[in-house]
Structure formats: structure tokens, C-alpha cells
Structure 1
């Protein structure tokens, strides 16, 4: 469980609220196309607090297999807060990324950032199929996850470490298959895009108004391809490059994280090249001898250390925490980097892990047809390491292990997002984005097609642009979603 995720939710570093969808008093129903939503006050789940306020939850039944629409169904967990103003435009559906992120948990914590949008939209999100409250898939228990963290080397150096790396990958896939059953072959991005159109119908909207972040941008592009005439006002922020295959995504992310690390090092007055070499040397030392921590029985491995470095690169506000954690690690204490890694891996103080990475793996391995071999990965490792001495080997090896010996075949090399005839789609790219590098925004716009993709650029830092401190970005996005004002293609916010 050492993957740094091909795509990750914007709110990965946030403390998320956990909500269920049962109990409480009834709200009004949304009905369309024979589908009804019975909105009720959200209840807590897994011991977490309910979001409170006027948040409502519901469950929508959709076909398990979209090729058999009258067959078995699964329930999708939804959450909403109704528009606060009188001039309502409809619903605005959010996906915060992953794949595997829970919209039901994340939406309430994102509401402040979207407060202006809520004046005219019902804010709506959901747990996609295979995620959390929507038949969420857990491939391993907490004890097995922690054991793998301690024993599996994400950058194997010996034949025995390679065997353990691959055996662990295969074992994880078997666990997913046992947990998911028939659902395993029906959690693709295409399946979820079709679910989105059923959600649109249930909400009573003629067109889908949508805000996709990170992986949510790919999901939005696939929806636009399948249902171009149903696209309403759609914004894609922190954009996945739809033209990149498995190796391409891994290289893109290696470049993105190295760029973010360079910018971080510059902010501390250090030379990026020298600073990267020092961090790489620290990771090598940790690989040879994991660091002690203040958490009883746990040590900081190389893989956990790198995960701890990755998390603060998602937001400039967390750079001071990275400085402190690296200084402590240099002095032999791995506690702070371990705490950061635990935040990324959704591990709480009791040792319980969230399931985002489980769902992410099941979804992405069903999407991706490519299965790079160890030999292919080793051949390309020098290219990864040239891109980044810190992240290269980890993300290179990840391509071999992520879907190794996966129980179901993948569906495509790259997703289809062309959407001729769709309404304009606002594509927002951030030049300092570590997880979804800026170049993906232009490529998404190009693949959406002429007169469809409109690029808005922010010269900023962190994963995602909207709500990240740029009045220019926020004003342009709000004007588009609220008034239908499409900015000039190529507009730049600095």
C-alpha cells in the first residue's frame, strides 16, 4: 500500500467528515425518469460524526452491469445541501478525485469553498460504485496492511525483495476479488460515468452541471464523451492527461512531484538539485535501516518516508511541516514523517485504515489494459530516476506492482474523452500541480475537441486551483458556473 496514487483527491490532506445515509426525518423527493430519491437527514457511520446542518443523504439504485439494465442493482450513496438563494439553477455534482474518494465524506468539508456556488445550486456528491457507502471494497484488514507497510520494499533491490513485492501485489488483488465478487468487473470509470447520468435524471436536471477535481476530471471527460448533449456547465480542475498511458501517467507524476519538490526547496533557500540529492540519500539510509518512531512497534521505512514527503507537496501551506519532518528524520527520528504518511494512508490513531486506496486500485486496474512487466519496468527505471532522484524509482516500480497478476483484464490504454457537440467545458490547470501536471489541461481540452475545451491557467502551487487563494481563478469559475460566462481560451491567472 505504498502507491502515491496516479490521481489523488484535492482534499487528501484534509480532515474529512464521515457521514452515512440512514435515519432522520424525510426531505422532499427528486424524481425523473422513473427514479426517486428519498432524501433524509444524514446519520453518522463507523463512529464518525454526521455532517449536521441541513445536509441530506439518499441512496440511488443503479444497474450492477450497465449492459443488463434490468438485472441486479447496487446502491449509490448521495449527499446534498440545498441552494440557499431563490434563483436556483439546479444541482452541481462534485467528484473530488481518487479514484476512490468518498464524496459523501468530503462534500461537507468542501462546502465553505463552494459557498458562492451554493447560492444558486444544490451542492451534491456521491460515493462512486465500489467506494465507501456505495458497496465499498476493502481488500485487506488493518493488521495485514500494517504488516505489508513494514515488510514490503516499494523499490526492491534484491531477487527476494522483488519476489515479496510481486507476491504482495498478487495477494492484494486476490483479496480485492474475494471482497468484491461480481462488482470487481463493474467499477470502471465508464460504469461510473453512466451512473452520473442516472444521478442527473434522479436530480431532475436536463443537463449535468459538474465540478470534477483530479481523477474527477477524467470522469467528467468520459461522461462528456458518452453524453455530449447532456453536458451542462462543467468545470474540470487539476486535470488528468487523457492521452497518457500507464507509463506516461507515472512519468507525468514523477515530473510533477519533482517540480513541486524543487519549488519547495527554492522556498527554503536551498538549491533544488543539491537538496534532492540530500533527500534521496536520506531515503537510501532509511532503506538500509528504518528509523525509530514514537509510535510503539512501528518504524519508518523508506516507502513510508517517501509517502510522508509526498503529502505536504499537495499544498504550499504544508511545506513547513515537511521542513520539520525532514529535519527530524536527518536527526534519526521518523515520527513526523510517519505521521504524514499515516495522514496520506488514512490511518487513524487506533490503527484503522481507510479504503480509498483499495477502491482506487480496483477501479484503475479495471480501467487500464496495460500490465508492465518487471523486465519492462527495469528497462525504463533509468528514465524515471533521471526525471527524479527522489520519486523516480518508486513510481517506476509502481507500474510493475500496481496491477500485477490482476484478476480481471483492463479495458483500455487511454480513456476516450472526445465530446463533439458538447457545451463549452472549462478546463483549469495549475502550473505547480504535483499530482496532475499542468500539461494535462491543454491535452484534455484538445481531446475534448474544438469549441468544447476552454483552458484557464493559474500560475500557482498545490493540487488544484479553485479555492486555493486566487481571486482570478475563483471569479472566472464562478462566472462560468453561475452566469454561463465562458472565459477566453488561454486566460492566465498569476
Structure 2
């Protein structure tokens, strides 16, 4: 063989060997971690997919050339089919969701959509788990009462969001922002999404594959994906964004129209209950003739609470403690039968929020990281309530039934005093190496389909694949049609046609019936939808349940502890974004 050909052959052989080595994920030293696997099983309450662990050192502060190192905790679920094609990074949302909790809980669903030939790697992003966990315990607040007013709406009974804002809500948000500044000033500027995007690229480089990013982002993970794509467009080999935040609205800090479809999702729950007849506890209790009868009965129970909320903060907290619990079940249709049981108990007269006497297992020490991360990213800061009032008036129009429990936690971001050391200020009008695939349900309670179209309009060549499913993200209402398109995209960059639309595998009634069968058999699979994105477990991120017996002061004058905790309740209810 001529020397030149021999050298070429040797080079090709070496490259192939290096690629095979890279696709085994050997650039990062993943090792079995049975003790952590067992701990996560205890936290999630169900045995998930086994995972391996690794650590990676990255700069703590990317704006400082001489920065101290930060150790990231990484987690990998191995591919189950040959040949292994490489690694897909995955973020399950939040912000505040950890890789340790969510990867084992949702790995099966992720693999079903992404494909079995990919290693799946997640991590604890900054501010979460044990990665410089953001800590702001919001139980140290006291003060005077505020009032709210009832608004006549066409769906669920609701309070007037603008009245809440004008009658103490803005001040309460400012108090929480100031308190977090006093608690977390040393690390609160180091947990922003731009730094997390840089961490992702460091992970890609350390994997020692081909240096390109393959990423699946769910919920807040779609904001992270948008940041990474805008900052490193030439590194994007594959990117699927599922259950989408509008990156422009996330960047500003007010989340825009995120509650746009929640009323329709709630209507879907009522219809599923009506169709399930006596398999729905709410139907059994009320024996309705129409779904409107179900809604009327729920409103009849909520109306006194909403009306009494005008009497002071304690009454307002009572209202929020009930209403805010309506939100998270809408993320996960498989939990709707148990949600119906909860509503039936409320209508039966047990109208107090459930209390827990036990302390759940936790992972990490982060506390209210959902606030710290998204607020540090916010680029719109208001110096007065007058500057923010127009935004509140707009927020009040988005959801007739749910704006009052959806938006007011976001007012904290507008008064945040710990901006991330790097905030992304770009406009997201970028051409990535490979166009992005957006996936979004038509009936998603917190990331409406319009968000996917708004995001796609900015990224050149990207495509939106809508589906008619309910709940938050494709994992919660699976579709083989969607899975086929996602797998084809990850394997060979094939994008669906612009007129493609998918349907879920099961109707809502079939999901309801299947959920009852799982409950009756005493088994569970994957994530149960009780957690931070979004999915696995929320216990490690937001430890906000202890709200009694703690006193403190704040710098903006006094605001009621009840009102502050009402805000925290709503934060907790919406922490899966």
C-alpha cells in the first residue's frame, strides 16, 4: 500500500476509533452511583431508570478570567440499542429541576421520544440541587393586611389581579426580592441562564464526541435551549424544544401569555370527568347533566372564598391555598382522577388545604431556586408600581380563571436586585447550524402553542410540530406520531412539514381509564408528575411548607406574612415552568 494511502487509512481508523470512544461517553468519567440512585428513589417515591454519575469542573464566573472552579454534578442514562449514536443533553425545566431527580423519573419517556440509541445526560444546573444552591427561605416575613376584590368572570371564580397589585401585591413582591438579596447576595448573580448555557457547551466539549450540541429542553429547558442556540448557533447539531416558553417574554421576566391556554385545559379536565361518569368522583358527587354543571358547582364553592378575600390577607390566603392547587394537576392528565377526588372532597365541605405531618426526603439544599434563577435573568426592572402597572393590566386579561394565581409571583422579578453577571440581551433572530424542532401541545396549561410559534419565528429555518394533546409537554400525553418525528430529527435532521399535526395515542377518557387501572393495581411508572418540570420531584427545590412561627423584618416596610405566603403558594404551584 502506498505510504499516502496507508497514512490516510491509519487516520481514518484512528478517527473512527476516537469517535467510537467518544460515543461511549468516555470523555467524562461516568461511574455507577448506587447510593444516590437509592436516595433518589426514596425522594421520588418510585424506582426510576438507573443512572451513572460524574463531575465536571467549569468556571464559577465566566466573566472573570481567573474564576474559581465550580463542580457540576452530571448524570447519565445509557443507550439501550446499538450502535450508540452519541449523547443528548436534556433539561427538564423549572427553573429549579435537578438532573438527579428528573432524569431517572422521566428517562423512559425521554427515550421513547428521542430514541434508544442515544445516551441521555442531565445535570444539576446552577442554583439547584447541590450546585451553588440558591437559598432564600421566605418564611421570615410579617406585616399588615392587604385586600383584594372579586371579579365577575366566565370561567372559574377569580379575584382581580390588578386590585391585588395595587392593594399590596407590588409591595409584597418587593419585600420578597429584598429579603432574598439579604440571604443570597454572594451567589445570586452566578446562577443565570447564560452561564448555564455556557456550562452546557463545557459538557459538550468534555464529552469528547464531535463538539456539537444535541439537546432536548422541556419547559424552562426551552428557554435554556433558546439562550444556548442564540449564543452558540454554530454548535447546534440537534435541538428539540418541547412545551415552550416564549424566549422574549422569559428574557424580560414577565412570561407574557404563558397562561393563555390554561382555561381550555381545565375545560378538558371537566369534559374528561363528565365522559368518565361514575369513574370520576366529581361526577359521582354531582350527577351533572352537562360540564357546565360541574363548573357551576366548583364556582359555587370558590365564590365565598373569593368574596371573603376582600376582607384581608388571611382570607386571601385561604382562597389562594385552594385555588393554587388547581394548577399543577392540569400539567399531567394521568393525575386527573385523583384531582377529581380532591375537588369532590372540597365540595363535600373539606375546604382547607391538605397539611402534611411528615418531612419529605430532599435532594440538595436549594430553596426557592425557581425565583432566584428566573429573576436574575430578567432584563426588565421597574422602579415603581406605576412602571409595571400596564403589564399587570395585560396579565389580568390572559386567563379569565387563572391569572390571579399565575402572574403575581412574577412581580418579584421586576424588583430583583441580583442581576445575573451575564444576562442575554440579544433578540434571538439567529440561524443555527441545524434548524430547531419545536414541539407543543394545543392544550398546555402553562406553555401555550402560540409560544412555540413566537419562538420559531425568530430562529431561521425552525419548524413547529403541534399536537392535540393535553398537559405540559409531550411526555405527559404521549404521541407515537410526535415520537417518530423527533427520532427522525435526531437521527438525520429530518424536519416535519409545516402543515404536519399529530394526535395523542389515547383520548382523555382512555387516559383517565388507564390511570384508574394503574391506581387500582398499586403500581406506577416513570415520573408521576408531582415535580419540578418540570416532572420528577419537587421536594428538593422548594421547601416552603413551614409557614408558621417565624418572624422577621424587611426593608420596604411591612407587608402581611399571609400575603407573602399567598405569593409563595402561587410560586410553588407554578414551579414547573
Give the structure-1-normalised TM-score: 0.77
Whole-angstrom distance in 2 between the partners of 1:124 and 1:204: 14
Deviation at 1:300, TM superposition (A): 7.7
Q: Which residue of 1 aligns with 2:448?
A: 437
CA separation in 1, counterparts of 2:227 and 2:252?
20
Whole-angstrom CA distance in 2 between matches of 1:191 and 1:423: 22
CA contact 1:37–1:202 (8 Å) conserved in 2: no
1:232 deviation in Å? 1.6
Shifted more, 271-280 versus 464-473: the winner is: 271-280
Q: Which moved more, 1:436-445 or 1:409-418?
A: 409-418
Unaligned runs of 5+ in 2: 1-23, 149-158, 275-288, 310-315, 504-577
In 1, the alpha carbon distance for the partners of 2:393 and 2:85 equals: 52
Q: Distance in 1 between matches of 2:165 and 2:455?
A: 38
Deviations 1:188-243 (A, max 9, x none): 11111011000101111321111110111111111111111211221111111123
**Cα–Cα, structure 1 residues 376 and 313, in superposed 2: closer, same or farther, change >3 Å?**
farther
Work out the CA distance in 1 between the residues paired with 2:343 and 2:34.
41
The reply on whether 1:192 has 2:196 as its aligned counterpart is yes
Name 1:205's counterpart in structure 2.
209
- Secondary structure of the structure 2 residue equivalent to 1:320: helix
Q: Cα distance 1:334–1:300, how it changes in 2: closer, same or farther (>3 A)?
A: farther
Look up the SS of the partner of 2:198 in the other structure.
helix
Cα distance 1:279–1:390, how it changes in 2: closer, same or farther (>3 A)? Answer: farther
Per-residue CA deviation, residues 124-163 of structure 1 (Å, 9 max, x unaligned), is: 100111111212122117xx28x88xx9989799999978
Pair 220,366 (structure 1): closer, same or farther in 2 beyond 3 Å: same
Q: Is the 8 A contact 2:259 2:398 kept in 1?
A: yes
Instruction: Report the Cα distance in structure 2 between the residues aligned to 1:152 and 1:108, rounded to whole angstroms.
Output: 43
Question: Among residues 478, 481, 485, which one is paired with 2:494 in the alignment?
Answer: 485
SS at match of 1:75: strand
Task: Work out the CA distance in 1 between the residues paired with 2:299 and 2:386.
Answer: 24
**Alignment partner of 2:501: what SS?**
strand
Which secondary structure state, in structure 2, belongs to the residue aligned with residue 114 of structure 1? Answer: helix
Partner of 2:409: 398
Aligned partners of 1:224 and 1:231 also within 8 Å = yes
1:114 Cα offset (Å): 3.0
Q: After superposition, what is the alpha-carbon deviation per residue over 1:343-380, rounded to whole angstroms, capped at 9, x for unaligned?
A: xxxx8832788877711111111111224554455556
Kindly report the root-mean-square deviation, in angstroms, between the aligned alpha carbons of the 2 structures: 3.8
Could you tell me which residue of structure 2 aligns to residue 9 of structure 1? none
2:140 is equivalent to residue 123 of structure 1: no
Structure 1: runs of 5 or more not aligned: 1-27, 291-298
Match of 2:35 in 1: 43
Distance 1:353 1:59, change over 3 A: closer
Task: Name the residue aligned to 1:370.
Answer: 380
Is 1:389 the equivalent of 2:386?
Answer: no
Shift of 1:251: 4.8
Residues matched between the structures, number: 440
Q: With CA pairs under 8 Å and 6+ residues apart, which has the higher RCO, 1 or 2?
A: 2
Q: What is the aligned partner in structure 2 of residue 306 from structure 1? A: 323
Seen in structure 2, the aligned counterparts of structure 1 residues 414 and 85 have a Cα distance that, compared at 3 Å, is: same
Q: Does 1:74 pair with 2:74? A: no
1:209-248 to 2 correspondences below 5 Å? 209-244=214-249
Q: CA deviation at 1:267?
A: 3.5
More strand by share: 1
Which SS does the other structure have where 1:57 is aligned? strand
1:319 aligns with 2:336: yes
Match of 2:459 in 1: 448
| Greater alpha carbon shift after TM alignment, 169-178 vs 218-227 | 169-178
Map 1:153-168 to 2 at 5 A: 165=169, 168=172
- Verify the 8 A CA contact 1:250 1:395 in the aligned structure 2: no
Instruction: Give the corresponding residue for 2:439.
Output: 428
Please say which structure displays the higher CA radius of gyration. 2
TM-score (structure 2 length as normaliser) = 0.66
